[in-house]
Amino acid sequence: MTTPEDSASGSAASPAPSAANATSATSSDVPAFGWSAYAERVNGRFAMLGFVAVLIIEALSGDTFLHWAGLVP
């Protein structure tokens, strides 16, 4: 049985997660550096966000992204 003091300190109720057993929130993959499936999935998600941001910029400004960014006269 745990006492209010134990649950307040967190010592007996739930151990703190360590870096060794951390996993992704959306899959069971362990985050890793370098060329891994996890890194590619995160990179793809950021690419999708960037593409949607470009579409929003074009829709709101009424101009192409390249012209808006000053890359095309």
pLDDT digit string, tens, across residues 13-71: 555 555 556 666 666 767 777 788 888 899 999 999 999 999 998 999 888 888 888 89
- 73 belongs to a structural domain: no
Quick one: CA torsion of 10, 11, 12, 15, rounded to 10 degrees?
A: 80
Predicted TM-score of the model (pTM)? 0.51
DSSP 30: P
Structure tokens at 53: 């941001």
Give the CB-side neighbour count of residue 20, counting CA atoms within 13 A. 1
| Domain extent at residue 41 | 4-68
Residue recorded with tokens 């992204």: 65
Task: Work out how many domains the chain is built from and give that number.
Answer: 1
The pLDDT of residue 1? 52
